[in-house]
Amino acid sequence: MARSRVAILIMGVVLWCCLTTPAKAEYMKYKDPKQPIPVRIQDLLDRMTLEEKIGQMVQIERKVASADVMKEYFIGSVLSGGGSVPAPQASAETWINMVNDFQRGSLSTRLGIPMIYGIDSVHGNNNVYKATIFPHNIGLGASRDPELVNKIGAATALETRATGIPYAFAPCIAVCRDPRWGRCYESYSEDPQIVKDMTDIIPGLQGNIPTDSPKGVPFVAGKNNVVACSKHYVGDGGTTKGINENNTVIDWQGLLSIHMPAYHTSIMKGVSTVMISYSSWNGIKMHANRELITGFLKNTLGFKGFVISDWEGLDRITYPPHANYSYSIQAGIHAGIDMVMVPYNYKEFIDGLTFHVKNNVIPMSRIDDAVRRILRVKFVMGLFENPLADNSLVDQLGSQEHRELAREAVRKSLVLLKNGQSLNRPLLPLPKKTSKILVAGSHADNLGYQCGGWTIEWQGFNGNNRTIGTTIVAAIKNTIDPSTNVVFKENPNAEFVKSNNFSYAIVVVGEHPYAETDGDSMNLTIADPGPTTIRNVCGALKCVVIIISGHPVVIEPYLASIDALVAAWLPGTEGQGVADVVFGDYGFTGKLPRTWFKTVDQLPMNVGDPHYDPLYPFGFGITTEPTTRQSDDNPFLSISSYFN
């Protein structure tokens, strides 16, 4: 009896020990940064349910996101659409807190797969208050300076990471072949070679790819860099009449030689993601084009990152959009799209895709390919090791160093199209010291206008109170001699101009901000009252006209009365760069990245075309030397610039 009691007691102690000793945690290879990335991907993929896999393929807008949504639906990514912010004039810390809140929801799931947050940092972190806004791509194309663009990429990465965001939907590597396209300013040039050269922004954004890195594999150097996205694949800049989201009619050889080269170069530089275009190629919607997405991009070019749709891109496979969403899901995923920018109706997308997989319409192998690619990018960028952002980079947002870089970019992007009514009497550079000058025009004192679309709001803004920067009139006042009287009048009448004894005038006019389809234009005119301002001022005074625009505009009717003409494109927040060159502290060096037409009836017209008859040809740009001239008593300086 005693023995049995002892035995029972011993068994009890053993049982108690078993129940109270914590079980050894299971070793999960995907959580081990020492494991090779392919091993980590496969280990995680093997553990995932269909629900968890499909969740990774979903990108939702921040307005419908929450920690609970991230957890319940295993959402793989969140984005801010244009102008979608946590609060007006939100600080970097506010952004970080929002992103981390969503991330904690993702980390609380069974497998703890972190989400990736994306934003349109297309010319700086342009949704964010106080961020440095760099010139739009068309201006950077005028600079012909890949090294500069690389530095802008690195600065943009820091300012994007400053807000806790690790994914930028940039660069746009469209080759704009018709300036009537509303996105033409997002294109570096009509010339495929210049667009290829400007893919140097990718190692700026992501970091320099190691020399031994396998071709086609995505690369992100670390926490100071972001995931980049080459867009919009492919042919978005070649649509008929430049109509946004329209049909690009071109043969295979033309597509390969004009629109494809920059994608091949991007992949060689380790770009992590590629976004699909809304447009069609010879009548086939790109979002449904399996031949070009899976066949060419993935299989032929060897792209190993993930392919992402554009905003509601699957919906637009049909016309009208969303007319047959079940078909759109099937067509888009089958074509090879890995992550879908839903952005709102995520439950409908998840249910639809789940239905197709369970009914063998979409094979599990296609889902696994998509998730493998998404996980590859997340592992490569170190997101599993560093899923939460901290405040260590907040001082990078709008830093003085980045503003100086943007100012340099503005200087190098300016193209001087005319300088004086005759070769031996150039007007520029202007003297800093004179009695009185007139500054006129709707764009002279308007930060929103000089930044253009994709700034604070999707369509841009009007005025000076939405972010921080230097307007052109403020830059002029900063630059001229203190004794020079500057008079600013937005739209002076002819009598005012004639009766005030001005030494010369600077007129700043152009287009109002726009983005995407809202920018499509069949007439490409300067916004009113710009033409009136030019006539009133340039009819009476020596005048410099500075054009702020996203593409060439009709200027020939006014050209005879204009003494000097500058294409300043969309320079961004650092208007001081304009004054730096106009007043001769630096010389003009920019060259036209695209042909400047005489009339819109000539369009489309690109260099090399048989009917090429431009007002100013592709590559044109008068150069000047810097000068220390302080008075207007020697008009013959810079004459040699006409012969460069």
Residues 6+ apart with CB under 8 A from 623: 416, 587, 588, 589, 641, 644
Q: What is the DSSP letter of 574?
A: B
Amino acid sitting at position 113: I
- The bridge status of strand 116-119 relative to strand 167-168 is parallel
Active site residue 197: no
Give the separation between CA 282 and CA 296, rounded to whole angstroms.
Answer: 16
Give the separation between CA 61 and CA 84, rounded to whole angstroms.
Answer: 8
From start to end of 180-320, where are the E strands? 229-233, 247-248, 273-276, 280-281, 284-285, 306-308
Sign of the alpha-carbon torsion through 621, 622, 627, 632: negative
Find tokens 């042919």 and name the residue: 235
Cβ burial, residue 628 (10 Å; 0-12/13-18/19+): exposed
Find tokens 């090879």 and name the residue: 336
Give the separation between CA 504 and CA 409, rounded to whole angstroms.
Answer: 27
Q: Which of 145, 190, 511, 516 is catalytic?
A: 516
Amino acid sitting at position 549: S
Helices (H), 180-260: 192-197, 201-206, 252-254
C-beta of residue 512 within 8 angstroms of C-beta of residue 462: yes
CA proximity to 524, closest of 573, 621, 460, 595? 595
Give the separation between CA 73 and CA 433, rounded to whole angstroms.
Answer: 66
Give me the torsion for CA of 264, 247, 330, 183, rounded to 10°: 60
* Secondary structure percentages of the chain, helix, strand, coil, to 5: 40, 10, 50
Active site residue 516: yes
Radius of gyration of the chain (CA): 28
Burial 287-309 (b: 16+ CB within 10 A, else e): bbbbebbbebbbeebebbbbbbb
Cβ neighbour number for residue 116 with a 10 Å cutoff: 26
Structure-token pair, residue 213? 């890195």
Give the separation between CA 512 and CA 442, rounded to whole angstroms.
Answer: 9
Query: With helix as H, strand as E and coil as C, how does 316-348 read?
Result: HHCCCCCCCHHHHHHHHHHHCCCEEECCCCHHH
Query: With helix as H, strand as E and coil as C, how does 493-531 read?
Result: CHHHHHCCCCCEEEEEEECCCCCHHHHCCCCCCCCCCHH
Amino acid sitting at position 508: V
Q: Which of 145, 310, 315, 580 is catalytic?
A: 310
Question: DSSP 3-state assignment of 97?
Answer: helix
* Residues labelled catalytic: 310, 516
